[in-house]
């Protein structure tokens, strides 16, 4: 059986180094290195390119990681199943989310039901979250518009309107709403590619022949808010994400509805996981309770 060797390989690939992997598995680094080397020698294949202390997966290593990720997840699911027979009082669930707003409500509700379950949350844009469930890095994703993929189950969680927001020196600040055409030639601060808020606004302006002037592209909501506060340009956000601020104001776009839809997503082969299923059920109950549109 290759169980120990494969587990060692998977840890090195996941934690991107022998030292971190050894700490995670609670074994010595020489033992770990020997197990990985034995695996490479047995099949006459190189799984890692080693450059100093850095390790990089080879093509063969990337292919093997896809398989060991499934094996690792099966082991996690088996443990969760066995734990469920003693009352569902243990286990770990990893979540990828586009932001803290929906995720926080879900996590609070889930932890109130299952306080002993360990939850880990990673934040990024929708594209990054989607990739993380495909690679088995996370169990469930909370994300906005997603591409169709036969490997993934998605469930609509809520729908929200995208609004503009500006600082107090901007001409729009005193207005209750704007027209979509008012954005023509306006300076805007936008999120990185992969952001669904950005995609929704760009699709609508392109359809109507409206040209905006991108000034900055930033990779986080916090950075966008700071740039808008300093008067660099207009930002865009889902209405529920806007937090009241004395120097900022959200401005609805009254003649069109630019929307982002939020989904729960997980791999099809995780559908039988009690942890995944329970989290999704709790999340949907949270959605009903908050009255999301």
CATH of domain 3-69: 1.10.10.10
pLDDT at residue 85, rounded to an integer: 58
Contacts of 222 (CB under 8 A, 6+ apart): none
* Distance, CA of 140 to CA of 130 (rounded, Å): 9
Give the pLDDT confidence score for residue 23 in this predicted structure. 85
pLDDT value for 32: 86
**pTM of this prediction exceeds 0.85:** no
- Residues in the chain predicted with pLDDT less than 50, given as ranges, are 289-291, 293
Q: What is the pLDDT of residue 291?
A: 43
Q: Which two tokens stand for residue 72?
A: 């690792």
What residue ranges of the chain are covered by domains with CATH 1.10.10.10?
3-69
Tally Cβ neighbours within 10 Å of residue 196: 22
| CATH no., domain 159-260 | 3.40.190.290
Instruction: Tell me how many degrees the CA angle 248-254-257 measures, rounded to the nearest 5.
Output: 100
Range 81-157+262-290: architecture per CATH: 3-Layer(aba) Sandwich (3.40)
Report pLDDT for 86: 56
pLDDT for the residue 205? 94
For 142-177, what is each residue's pLDDT tens digit? 988 777 899 999 999 888 899 999 999 999 999 999
Q: Pinpoint the residues of the chain covered by CATH 3.40.190.290.
A: 159-260
């Amino acid at each position: 059986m290759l169980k120990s060797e494969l587990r060692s390989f998977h840890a090195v690939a996941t934690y991107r180094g022998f030292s971190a992997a050894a700490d995670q598995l609670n074994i010595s680094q020489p033992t770990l290195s020997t197990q990985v080397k034995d695996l490479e020698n047995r099949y006459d294949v190189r799984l890692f390119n080693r450059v100093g202390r850095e390790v990089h997966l080879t093509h063969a290593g990337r292919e093997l990681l896809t398989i060991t990720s499934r094996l690792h997840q099966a082991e996690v699911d088996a443990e969760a199943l066995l734990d469920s027979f003693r009352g569902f009082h243990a286990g770990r669930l990893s979540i990828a989310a586009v932001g803290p707003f929906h995720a926080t409500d879900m996590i609070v509700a889930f932890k109130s039901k299952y306080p002993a379950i360990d939850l880990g949350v990673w934040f990024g844009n929708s594209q990054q979250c989607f990739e993380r469930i495909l690679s088995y890095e996370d169990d469930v994703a909370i994300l906005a518009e997603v591409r169709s993929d036969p490997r993934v189950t998605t469930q609509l969680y809520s729908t929200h309107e995208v609004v503009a927001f500006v600082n107090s020196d901007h001409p729009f600040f005193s207005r209750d709403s704007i027209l979509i055409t008012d954005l023509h030639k306006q300076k805007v601060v936008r999120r990185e590619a992969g952001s669904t808020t950005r995609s929704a606004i760009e699709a609508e302006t392109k359809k109507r022949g409206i040209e905006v002037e991108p000034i900055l592209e930033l990779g986080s909501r916090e950075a966008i808010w700071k740039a808008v506060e300093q008067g660099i340009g207009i930002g865009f956000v889902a209405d529920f994400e806007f937090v009241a601020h004395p120097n900022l104001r959200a401005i609805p776009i009254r003649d069109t509805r630019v929307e982002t839809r939020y989904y729960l997503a997980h791999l099809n082969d995780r559908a039988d996981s009690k942890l995944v299923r329970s989290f999704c059920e709790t999340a949907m109950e949270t959605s009903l309770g908050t009255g999301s549109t």
